């Protein structure tokens, strides 16, 4: 049996339409949500991401404010811009595209963004609130994974979710979000012994490793749900995930493709977080 292909693009379109409707039907006399996007330097991948974020703002009816700064921008200049945006009423969300040039301390920058405007969910306050199970802005990629599972009606309570990857942006927050959904969670990483055996126990696999075709069909339990967070560029220029999609789809009950799976959901959750920040500011 071939797996159901979870269409992240379609789910995103539905959710973005809902967000756009909420903006269109906002209380009379109120302003639109505003997202400030900062990019430092000219990393080509970052430029594409920032452009996609701008496009999503247009679709949702948000005001977007772009700050494209040269690669030699000093840490002080960047921190001073963030301070200004923290105090700008029209700006509900602030996002500083990562990675930053090496002379800038990323942690300092993340710490400088006001937690109420931290729609990326990277600040220590939001991270701590996520850990404590309190309301917070959750990082957009793992939040998008949970949203997709919910949209598809996939049961998470009591299920064994195995996450492969322990990054601050995906693996660790994904574990906390799946715990919140009452899953039993295992995190595997590069030092895990018998990783294939661990993954094979999973009802839900979240692959966030950053290696093309790392998850092979022999690691997958028949009927598992497989969520592929990977975005890897092959030598021929094609983009592929962390999962051997063609073979794994013959064994899984449901699977996300790359592209068109988790990717579009990340920006959709950024829009949702910004809408939420705006609602709090109304």
CB 173 within 8 A of CB 138: yes
Q: E-assigned strands of the chain?
A: 4-5, 34-40, 63-69, 93-96, 160-164, 184-188, 204-207, 225-228, 232-233, 239-240, 254-255
Candidates 79, 98, 179, 253; binder of ligand GUN (CB under 6 A) is 98
Rounded CA-CA distance 274/263 in Å is: 18
* Catalytic residue chosen out of the listed positions 92, 118, 120, 242: 120
Q: Active-site residue 53, yes or no?
A: yes
Which of 260, 256, 272 is closest to 16 using CA atoms?
A: 272
**Is 119 a binder of ligand GUN (CB under 6 A)?**
no
**Is 127 a binder of ligand GUN (CB under 6 A)?**
no
Smallest gap, in angstroms, from Cβ of residue 229 to ligand GUN? Answer: 11
**Is 147 a binder of ligand GUN (CB under 6 A)?**
no
Residue with CB nearest ligand GUN? 98
* SS3 (DSSP) at 208: coil
Q: Active-site residue 105, yes or no?
A: no
Residue 61 dihedral angles phi and psi, to the nearest 5°: 75, 25
**Is 97 a binder of ligand GUN (CB under 6 A)?**
yes
- H/E run at residue 54: helix 44-60
Binding to ligand GUN, residues 201-220 (CB under 6 A):
none
Stretch of 95-103, 123-131, 231-239, 244-252 contacting ligand GUN, by CB under 6 A: 95-103
Q: Active-site residue 272, yes or no?
A: no
The footprint of ligand GUN (CB under 6 A) covers: 95-98, 120, 140
Q: Catalogue the active-site residues.
A: 53, 97, 120
């Amino acid at each position: 049996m071939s797996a159901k292909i979870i269409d992240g693009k379609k789910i995103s379109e539905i959710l973005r339409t809902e967000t756009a409707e909420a903006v269109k039907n906002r209380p009379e006399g109120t302003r639109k949500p505003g997202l400030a996007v900062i990019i430092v330097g000219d990393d080509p991948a970052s430029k594409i991401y920032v452009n996609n974020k701008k496009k999503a703002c247009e679709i949702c009816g948000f005001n977007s404010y772009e700050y494209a700064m040269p690669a030699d921008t000093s840490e002080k200049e960047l921190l001073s811009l963030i301070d200004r945006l923290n105090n700008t009423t029209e700006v509900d969300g602030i996002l500083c595209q990562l990675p930053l040039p090496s002379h800038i301390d990323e942690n300092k920058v993340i710490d400088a963004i006001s937690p109420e405007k931290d729609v990326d969910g990277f600040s220590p306050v939001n991270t701590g609130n996520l850990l404590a199970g309190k309301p917070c802005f959750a990082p957009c990629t793992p939040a998008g994974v949970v949203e997709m599972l919910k949209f598809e009606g996939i049961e998470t309570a009591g299920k064994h979710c195995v996450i492969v990857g322990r990054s601050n942006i995906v693996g660790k927050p994904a574990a906390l979000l799946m715990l919140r959904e009452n899953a039993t969670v295992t995190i595997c990483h590069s030092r895990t012994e018998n990783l294939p055996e661990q993954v094979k126990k999973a009802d839900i696999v979240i692959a966030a490793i950053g290696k093309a075709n790392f998850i092979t069909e022999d690691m997958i339990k028949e009927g598992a749900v497989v969520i592929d967070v990977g975005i890897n560029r092959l030598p021929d220029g094609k983009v592929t995930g962390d999962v051997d999609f063609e073979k794994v789809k013959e064994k899984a009950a449901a699977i996300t493709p790359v592209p068109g799976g988790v990717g579009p959901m990340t920006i959709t959750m950024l829009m949702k977080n910004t809408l939420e920040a705006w609602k709090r500011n109304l």
